[in-house]
């Protein structure tokens, strides 16, 4: 089944979709090209932390204290709370649930960017990386993007994480738990809200023990990304969708990009319901700029 989504022509899209058990993923021609993935890179930080907790080299209950230099604007709720220190696993839970920027900077300061890079390399990811802490603004001496990645690598990672073969059973279970509480279902997940009745605020673990679902989104001026995996009735589909465009056109293109993400979500939902009827062939090109 070819990818024929309708995307805005002035947006660079990268899509990779995989039905578990198929030989090859479906993807657009940009799926191998690193694009800006915004907060999706926080997934790599969570994997690095989970690996250390699972192997016993780090105590998940250790208290992490926020510092003035950790505070940033935008996503998250810790900056509204009075408590200055939280257990590591709770800091990670804030990142998974609400993509908390303050929690991200606190955890990254504790884990270290080199540890995240080591964990990323151990996964075999060559073109996907978390480059920096979250910043209110980026200067000429800062990395130009919080994170970058390719749709193919991230889709492959999503499938492995769902199967428990990324960092290993216990580490992957921790990460799936943190991410399955994610409240942002504005992109691919919007199709799950309609067709499966997913409550964006309460879909942790599964729904009626039938649907297993997690995802991580990223949003910034000129970029949207959604990476995730879902299981239903013994079938599993993993996805990555990344959209990049000129930041100054964010207001003009943002709504159209979300509609494109929703179309991918509809494909995923249909594939979960009728996996056997989808012919998954080697990578093909889609509509829109490729």
Sheet architecture: strand order including 26-27: 26-27, 12-19, 235-244, 223-232, 211-220, 206-207
pLDDT digits (tens, 9 = 90+) for 73-96: 889 999 999 999 999 999 999 999
What is the arithmetic mean of pLDDT over 165-179?
96
- Give the burial string for 223-238 (b: 16+ CB within 10 Å, else e): bbbbbbbbbbeebbbb
What is the arithmetic mean of pLDDT over 234-242?
94
Query: Tell me, what's the pLDDT at 275?
Result: 60
Query: Tell me, what's the pLDDT at 68?
Result: 96
Share of the chain above pLDDT 70, in %: 90
What is the arithmetic mean of pLDDT over 145-163?
97
Residue 1 has pLDDT above 60, yes or no: no
Structural domain boundaries in the chain: 12-277
Share of the chain above pLDDT 90, in %: 76
Is 1:282 a contact under the CB 8 Å cutoff? no
In terms of phi and psi (left: phi > 0; alpha: psi -120 to 50; beta: otherwise), the region of 283 is beta
CA distance 45 to 51: 10
On the 0-12 / 13-18 / 19+ scale of CB atoms within 10 A, 69 is exposed
The closest alpha carbon to 161, from 172, 148, 145, 152, belongs to 172
DSSP string spanning 72-119?
-SSS-SGGGSS--EEEHHHHHHHHHHH--HHHHHHHHHHH-HHHHHHH
pLDDT band at 288 (very low <50, low <70, confident <90, very high): very low
Query: Tell me, what's the pLDDT at 227?
Result: 98
Is 183:200 a contact under the CB 8 Å cutoff? yes
Nearest 5°: phi and psi at 20?
-55, 130
pLDDT band at 279 (very low <50, low <70, confident <90, very high): very low
Query: Tell me, what's the pLDDT at 191?
Result: 94
pLDDT band at 281 (very low <50, low <70, confident <90, very high): very low
Residue 179 has pLDDT above 70, yes or no: yes
The closest alpha carbon to 220, from 75, 77, 70, belongs to 75
CA distance 29 to 34: 12
Residue 138 has pLDDT above 70, yes or no: yes
Is 12-277 a domain of CATH 3.40.710.10?
yes
Virtual CA dihedral for 181, 187, 1, 212, nearest 10 degrees? Answer: 10
Query: Tell me, what's the pLDDT at 54?
Result: 98
Query: Tell me, what's the pLDDT at 5?
Result: 78
**Which of 9-23, 30-44, 199-213 reaches the highest mean pLDDT?**
30-44
pLDDT band at 205 (very low <50, low <70, confident <90, very high): low
The closest alpha carbon to 48, from 57, 36, 39, belongs to 57
Residue 7 has pLDDT above 90, yes or no: no
CA distance 7 to 283: 18
Helix (H, G, I), strand (E, B) or coil at 132: coil
pLDDT digits (tens, 9 = 90+) for 95-133: 999 999 999 999 999 999 999 999 999 999 999 999 999
Residue 284 has pLDDT above 60, yes or no: no
In terms of phi and psi (left: phi > 0; alpha: psi -120 to 50; beta: otherwise), the region of 22 is beta
Whole-number mean pLDDT of the chain? 90
CA distance 47 to 170: 11
The closest alpha carbon to 73, from 102, 94, 97, 45, belongs to 102
Query: Tell me, what's the pLDDT at 204?
Result: 63
Query: Tell me, what's the pLDDT at 137?
Result: 93
């Amino acid at each position: 089944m070819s990818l024929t989504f309708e995307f805005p022509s002035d947006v660079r899209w990268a899509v990779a979709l995989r039905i578990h058990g198929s030989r090859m993923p479906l993807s657009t021609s940009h799926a191998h090209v690193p694009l800006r993935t915004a907060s999706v890179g926080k997934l790599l930080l969570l994997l690095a932390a989970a690996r250390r907790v699972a192997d016993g080299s780090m105590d998940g209950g250790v208290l992490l204290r926020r510092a003035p230099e950790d505070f940033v604007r935008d996503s998250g709720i810790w900056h509204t709370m009075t408590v200055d220190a939280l257990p590591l696993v709770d800091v990670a839970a804030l990142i998974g649930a609400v993509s908390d920027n303050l929690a991200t900077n606190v955890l990254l300061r504790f884990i270290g960017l080199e540890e995240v890079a080591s964990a990323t390399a151990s996964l075999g990811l060559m073109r996907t990386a978390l480059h920096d802490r979250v910043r209110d603004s980026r200067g000429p001496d800062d990395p130009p993007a919080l994170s970058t990645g390719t749709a193919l690598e991230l889709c492959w990672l999503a499938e492995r994480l769902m199967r428990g073969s990324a960092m290993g059973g216990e580490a992957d279970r921790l990460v799936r738990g943190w991410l399955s509480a994610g409240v942002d279902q504005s992109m691919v997940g919007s199709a799950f809200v309609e067709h499966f009745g997913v409550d964006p605020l309460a879909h942790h673990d599964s729904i009626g023990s039938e649907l297993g679902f997690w995802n991580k989104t990223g949003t910034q001026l000129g970029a949207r990304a959604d990476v995730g995996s879902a299981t239903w009735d013994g079938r599993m589909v993993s996805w990555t969708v990344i959209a990049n465009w000129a930041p100054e056109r964010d207001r003009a293109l943002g709504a159209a990009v979300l509609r494109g993400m929703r179309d991918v979500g509809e494909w995923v939902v249909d594939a979960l319901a009728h996996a056997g009827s989808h012919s998954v062939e080697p990578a093909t090109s889609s509509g829109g700029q490729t």
